[in-house]
């Protein structure tokens, strides 16, 4: 069994040329679970796989993370073999926000007769959930307002921070199995996102060494982060992951 992480995009909400910040966990060279669904990121995903995601996890509901849902509604609803099948795992506090952002429109079809969520299999989740026989963990991060943004852990393999300020206390608990940590980080931080000064100040060296940074503003910023000795993801890059911890497997 082999596991990998493929970045479909690595940019912030303005750096559309770098793609929406999203990725797919691959198992045995096939898409397994996609994290977020921005517009540009979905375009990159469809170009890579030639098919919509197999399953989705939503970290939060900013549009660069969920704007692709409108297109997915069309591909899922109008294909009888796909309709209502794609699991969409959503931390429970996000369900009303996600519905208001993408699901709540008068008559999703002009001709009527359909509800937005009939296209998907919406699965509200708490601190952990099962996908395809594997137990993944969910934890809150710091992005704007409490309980509106979450990270994802595949124990022993991967921690995906989602958009966040530094969260040393959360990673001490949720990234303590030598996982690769894909982390929000730009050259300069702000009240919404981490900057490299923040992470260098707040994270121990052994954690920073496991981080691969994404959500930057430009290719020049990515080069500057690398020049400071950090690993930075490129759109389209695939990173090998360790096998998940045995206790995460059903």
Structure tokens at 38: 């921005």
In the complex with Zn ion, the residue whose CB is nearer, 137 or 163, is 163
Half-sphere exposure of 188 (CA within 13 A, CB side): 4
- Minimum distance of Zn ion from residue 59's CB (angstroms): 8
CB of 62 to Zn ion, least distance (A): 3
Residues 57-76, interacting with Zn ion (CB under 5 A): 62
Near Zn ion in 117-176, by CB under 5 A: 163
C-alpha span between 81 and 141 (Å, rounded): 36
For Zn ion, the closer of residues 68 and 156 by Cβ is 68
Q: Give how many residues touch Zn ion by CB under 5 A.
A: 2
Strand 134-140 with 128-131, pairing: antiparallel
* Minimum CB distance to Zn ion smaller for 82 or for 93: 93
Closest distance between Zn ion and the C-beta of residue 215, in Å?
9
Shortest distance in whole angstroms from residue 164 CB to Zn ion = 9
Residue closer to Zn ion by CB (options 163, 221) is: 163
Q: How far is the CB of 143 from Zn ion (least distance, A)?
A: 6
Q: Which residues is 7 bridged to in the sheet?
A: 23
**Which phi and psi angles does 220 have, rounded to 5°?**
-65, -40
Q: How far is the CB of 60 from Zn ion (least distance, A)?
A: 6
**What single string gives the DSSP state of each residue in the chain?**
--EEEEEEE-B-SS-GGG--SEEEEEETTEEEEEE---HHHHHHHHHHHSS--S-EE-----HHHHTTHHHHHHHHHT-TTTTTTSEEEEEGGGHHHHIIIII-SS-SSTT----GGGGSEEEEE-SEEEETTEEEEEEE--SSSTTS-EEEEETTTEEE--S-S--HHHHHHHT-S--EEEEE-BSS--SSS-BHHHHHHHS-HHHHTTEEEE-BS-HHHHHHHHHTT-EE--TT-EEEEPPPPGGGB-
By C-beta, is 2 or 14 nearer to Zn ion?
14
Residue 9 or 31: the one with the smaller Cβ distance to Zn ion is 9
| 62 or 230: CB nearest Zn ion | 62
Give the shortest CB-98-to-Zn ion separation in angstroms: 13
Which residues in this chain contact Zn ion in the complex, by CB under 5 A?
Answer: 62, 163
């Amino acid at each position: 069994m082999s596991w990998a992480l493929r970045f479909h995009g690595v940019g912030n909400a303005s750096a559309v040329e770098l793609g929406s910040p999203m990725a797919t966990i691959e198992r045995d060279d096939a898409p397994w679970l996609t994290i977020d669904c921005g517009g540009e990121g979905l375009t990159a995903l469809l170009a890579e796989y030639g098919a919509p995601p197999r399953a989705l996890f939503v970290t939060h509901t900013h549009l660069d993370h969920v704007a692709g849902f409108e297109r997915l509604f069309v591909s899922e609803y109008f294909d009888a073999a796909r309709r209502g099948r794609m699991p969409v795992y959503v931390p429970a506090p996000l369900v009303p926000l996600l519905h208001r952002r993408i699901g709540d429109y008068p008559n999703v079809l002009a001709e009527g007769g359909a509800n937005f969520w009939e296209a998907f299999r919406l699965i509200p989740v708490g601190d952990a959930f099962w996908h395809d026989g594997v137990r993944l963990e969910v934890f809150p991060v710091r992005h704007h307002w409490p309980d509106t943004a979450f990270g994802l852990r595949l124990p022993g393999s991967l921690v995906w921070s989602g958009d966040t300020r530094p969260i040393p206390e959360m990673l001490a608990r949720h990234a303590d199995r030598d996982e690769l940590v894909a982390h929000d980080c730009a050259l300069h931080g702000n009240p919404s996102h981490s900057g490299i000064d923040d992470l260098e100040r707040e994270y121990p060296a052994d954690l920073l060494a496991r981080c691969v940074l994404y959500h930057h503003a430009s290719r020049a910023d990515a080069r500057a982060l690398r020049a400071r000795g950090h690993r930075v993801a490129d759109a389209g890059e695939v990173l090998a992951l360790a096998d998940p911890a045995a206790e995460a497997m059903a």
